[in-house]
Structure 1
Amino acid sequence: MLALTSIWTTILLAAAVALGPLATDMYLPALPSMGEALSAGPDQVQLTLSLYMAGFALAQLFCGPLADRFGRKPVMITGFLLFFLASVGCALATNVETLMLNRFLQALGGSAGPVLGRAAIRDIYTPRDAARIMAILASIMALAPAIAPTLGGFLLGFFGWPSIFITLGVYGLIMAVVVAFGIPEPMAPANRQSLKLRNLSRNYRHIGTDPSFIGYTLTNAFAFSGLFAFLSGSSFVLIDFLGVAPEHYGLYFACVVAGYISGNLVSVRLGRRLVPDQILLRGLLISVAGGVAMAGLAMLKVHNVWAVMIPQAVVMMGVGMTLPQTMAGALANFPTMAGSASALFGFGQMALAACVGALVGHFYAGTSLVMASVIAACSVAALATYLLLVQRYPAPGFEPAEVAK
Structure 2
Amino acid sequence: MADKIISIYKTRLSLSELIPLLAMMMALSALSIDTILPAVTIIAKDLGVVKENSAQLVIGVMFAAFSFGQLLYGPLSDIIGRKRAFYVGIFIFTIGCIVSYHATNFKVMLFGRLLQGLGVSSARVISQAIIRDQYVGADMAKIMSIIISIFIIVPALAPSLGQLILKYYSYRSIFLLLLTHATIVVFWLGIRQPETLAVENRKRFNASLLLKEMRLVLEEKTTFLFSVSQGFVFGNMVGFLMSAPQIFADLYQEQDRFPLFFAGLAISVGISSILNSSLVKQLGMIRLASIALLLMISFSLMFLVFIFFGNGQTPLWITMLFLCCLFFQVGFLMGNLNAMAMEPMGERAGIAAAVIGSISTSISWACGTIVGQNYQKTLFPLILGWFLLSSLAFIAMRLGVAKARSHN
TM-score between the two structures when normalised by the length of structure 2:
0.93
* Greater shift in the superposed pair: 177-186 or 145-154: 177-186
Larger displacement relative to structure 2 (377-386 or 98-107): 377-386
- Greater shift in the superposed pair: 29-38 or 319-328: 29-38
CA separation in 1, counterparts of 2:38 and 2:59? 13
- C-alpha separation in 2, matches of 1:290 and 1:148: 27
1:356 aligns with 2:356: no
The equivalent of 2:342 in structure 1 is 331
> Paired residue for 1:151?
161
Q: 2:237: which partner in 1?
A: 227
Q: CA–CA distance in 1 between the matches of 2:406 and 2:173?
A: 44
Q: Cα distance, 1:187 vs. partner?
A: 1.9
Cα distance in 1 for residues equivalent to 2:250 and 2:106: 20
2:41 maps to which of 11, 21, 32: 32
In structure 2, C-alpha distance between the alignment counterparts of 1:238 and 1:384, rounded to whole Å: 32
Report if the CA contact (8 A) 2:226-2:338 is conserved: yes
Alpha-carbon separation, structure 1, partners of 2:406 and 2:141 = 11
Q: Is the 8 A contact 2:85 2:122 kept in 1?
A: yes
2:110 corresponds to which of 95, 100, 114 = 100
The within-5 A match list for 1:363-402 is: 363-393=374-404
Q: Which residue of 2 aligns with 1:77?
A: 87
1:14 aligns with 2:26: no
Which residue does the alignment assign to 1:403? none
CA deviation after TM superposition for structure 1 residue 326, in Å: 1.0
Given that 2:234 and 2:364 are in contact with CA atoms closer than 8 Å, whether structure 1 keeps it comes out as yes
Partner letter of residue 205 of structure 1?
R
Aligned match of 1:345: 356
**Residue of structure 2 equivalent to 1:313:** 324
% of aligned pairs identical?
A: 25
SS of 1:272's partner is helix
Tell whether the 8 Å contact from 1:333 to 1:395 is kept in structure 2 after alignment. no
Q: Deviations over 1:46-95 (max 9, x none)?
A: 11211111101111111110001111101112212321221121122121
- Deviation by residue 1:157-199 (Cα, 9 ceiling, x = unmatched): 2212111122112211222222211211122334322320111
Residues 66 and 118, structure 2, Cα contact 8 Å, conserved in 1:
yes
- The answer for the alignment partner of 2:267 in structure 1 is 258
Are the equivalent residues in 1 in contact too, given 2:229–2:393 (CA < 8 A)? Answer: yes
* Counterpart contact for 2:232–2:367, Cα < 8 Å: no
Q: TM-score, normalised by structure 1?
A: 0.93
Shift of 1:394: 5.4
- The letter for the 2-side match of 1:383 is F
Q: 1:282 aligns with which of 272, 283, 291?
A: 291
**In the TM superposition, what are the counterparts of 1:203-218 in structure 2 within 5 Å?**
203-218=213-228
Q: Equivalents in 2 of 1:108, 1:191: separation in Å?
A: 26
Cα offsets for 1:132-164 (capped at 9, x unmatched)? 110111111111111101111111222121111
Matched residues in 1 for 2:265 and 2:183: separation? 28
Would you say the 8 A contact 1:286–1:317 is kept in 2?
A: no
Task: Tell me, in whole angstroms, the C-alpha distance in 2 between the residues paired with 1:214 and 1:352.
Answer: 12
The one-letter amino acid paired with 2:331 is G
Distance verdict in 2 for CA 1:345–1:104, change over 3 Å: same
Structure 1 residue runs without a partner (length 5+): 400-405
Residues 44 and 268 from structure 1, CA distance in 2 versus in 1: closer, same or farther, beyond 3 angstroms? same
Name the amino acid aligned to 1:161. Answer: Y
* Kept in 1: contact 2:233–2:364 (CA 8 A): no
For 1:34-57, what per-residue CA distance to the aligned partner results, in whole angstroms no more than 9, with x for missing partners? 222122133221112111111011
| Paired residues for 1:38-57 under 5 Å | 38-40=47-49, 41-57=51-67
**8 A Cα contact 1:149 1:253, kept in partner:** yes
Residue deviations 1:377-402 (CA, integer Å, cap 9, x gap): 11111112122332432599xx9xxx
SS at match of 1:18: helix
Contact kept, 8 Å, 2:236 with 2:368, in 1: the verdict is: no
Conserved? CA contact 2:130–2:196, under 8 Å: yes
**1:336 offset after TM fit, Å?**
0.9
